[in-house]
Amino acid sequence: MTVDTKTKSYVFQKKISEKGLIAVGSKNDGMYLVLEDPSTGEQKVVLDGISGAAVCSLPHNDPEITSQFTKWAQDSPYTFGAYYGNNAAEELSKFMCEKSKGAFESCLWTQSGSEATENAIKIMRQYHLERGDDKRYKIISRLQSYHGFTLGALSVGDGTRKPPFKPILLSDEQTPKMPQLYPYRDWKAGMSEEDYTKYLLEQAEKVFIDNDPSTISGVLVETVGGSTIGTPTPPKGYLDGLKALCHKYGALLMLDEVMCGLGRCGYDFTYMHPEFGLTTGGPDILSVGKTIGSGFVTLAGLFFSPKICKVFSEGSGLVMGGQTYHSHAFTCKVGLAVQQKIVRDNLVENVRIVGAYMKEQLIEKLKDSKIAGDVRGAGNFLSVEIVKDKSTKQYFDPKLAVGPALHKRIFDKGVIVMGAAGTVGYEYHGLNDVSCFGDHITMGPAFTFKKEHADIIVKAVTEAVFEMEKELL
């Protein structure tokens, strides 16, 4: 058999042995990607309305950042954190801690959000050991959540990616789950916002009680849910209540803002959002990623509160373990430059203003759609949930894979969004067979996007939704 060397892939990801479209560059101030068909050489230019996977805070190939790579590399000898540090990691940490207005006192820089989650699970365990408490080892998290694709991260998460790997993950006993945060479906008619918050917190406390509060190490939740459930925002008072509940039972609160944070939802940290955030202080631990390095480098991290730092400094004074590329000098230099530019150019404010405009336009343009059930999110981290019946919120047959199909239709119109299935839940049938219930699309362009980009995204989305509506109903 003759192998087509133009299309054969040697990279073990996506569709094995087939390259698919290849990104070969960017255009128009980095807001558009240039994609090439390897078999024909034909190129397609598309507006990146999801910035990879909500990764890019700055546009692709930003010349102000990329032009300095050589100098930064020349100034960045490799340092192994177990032996010595580097100024780049110190400077990035100081910059971000100061930005938190006292919520955080120290940072650990990793290579991915998944890796950040793995480290956080171990650090929470060590925190309790430093206090002389050996019983705490369980992490409470939510159904329909995502915290990464490594084994520990999959264990504390929940969603369609998880079932095939469950036999090799941490047990359900180690990772108890509380109900998902899903206002569109779970905030019932007649309930006030206060009622819904009370319901969520009562359910969370029940999980504590049912799993022996003295064994709970921490609670880990996404401040705003991501790709699994389509950007639902919490009700007012929920985060405050969850923090109080954790501290009542001696556990730590960790917020995951890898996908939703550092400006993506219109504020420096999403837990600072005035409509649904914490009213005072921050969580005990925060994970970040994606937008910290804007995709120029593989950078993510953990932020630690003064409370955490005090226990460690008054205890052993040491962090158990360390990985080869923790707090890597070059990636930290890039991350600092990205974050400084975001501040200098008021890009978080831009996200808040243009994101609100895009959300308003989506709501207005889709109000007469029979299948656009919900438009939700914050900043420019926005989703549209697709349903078969808006009155009952019934989802489409999973075999139709409406989310991915809608993604393709929008792509054909020149815009990239994230199309997903499994918004409501899933059912595992064994082997690789997972039924994914519910569909949504998610948007999250670079922070530099303008109203003209928002208009293009909204136009492509609404046209595709109405076209699919005609075909599906």
* Domain edge (last residue) among 344, 378, 411: 344
| Predicted confidence (pLDDT) per residue in 250-299, tens digit | 999 999 999 999 999 999 999 999 999 999 999 999 999 999 999 999 99
Q: Are residues 245 and 155 in the same domain?
A: yes
Q: Are residues 5 and 129 in the same domain?
A: no
Within-domain flag for 61: no
Q: Are residues 126 and 239 in the same domain?
A: yes
In the predicted model, what is the mean pLDDT of residues 18-44? 93
Please say if the pLDDT value at position 398 is more than 90: yes
User: Which band of pLDDT confidence, cut at 50, 70 and 90, is reported for residue 223?
Assistant: very high
Within-domain flag for 57: no
Within-domain flag for 108: yes
* Domain edge (last residue) among 321, 344, 367: 344
Q: Are residues 21 and 167 in the same domain?
A: no
Within-domain flag for 64: no
pLDDT of residue 18: 85
284 within 8 A of 120, measured Cβ to Cβ? no
| Predicted confidence (pLDDT) per residue in 85-125, tens digit | 999 999 999 999 999 999 999 999 999 999 999 999 999 99
Q: What is the CATH number of the domain that holds 155?
A: 3.40.640.10
Please say if the pLDDT value at position 215 is more than 90: yes
Q: Are residues 210 and 323 in the same domain?
A: yes
- Please enumerate in sequence order all residues whose Cβ is within 8 A of that of 27, keeping only pairs 6 or more positions apart, or say none: 33, 34, 45
**Stated pTM of the model:** 0.96
* Domain edge (last residue) among 290, 314, 344: 344
Q: Are residues 198 and 248 in the same domain?
A: yes
pLDDT of residue 261: 97
pLDDT of residue 2: 54
User: Which band of pLDDT confidence, cut at 50, 70 and 90, is reported for residue 3?
Assistant: low
Q: Are residues 77 and 178 in the same domain?
A: yes
338: nearest Cα among 47, 77, 99:
99
Domain that holds residue 214: 69-344
- Give the chain's domain count: 3
pLDDT of residue 11: 86
Within-domain flag for 54: no
| Predicted confidence (pLDDT) per residue in 33-92, tens digit | 999 999 899 999 999 999 999 999 999 999 999 999 999 999 999 999 889 999 999 999
Query: Do strands 216-222 and 252-256 pair parallel, antiparallel, or not at all (unpaired)?
Result: parallel
What is the C-alpha separation between 33 and 415, in angstroms, rounded? 10
Q: Are residues 356 and 316 in the same domain?
A: no
Please say if the pLDDT value at position 368 is more than 60: yes
Please say if the pLDDT value at position 227 is more than 50: yes
Q: Are residues 129 and 249 in the same domain?
A: yes
pLDDT of residue 1: 44
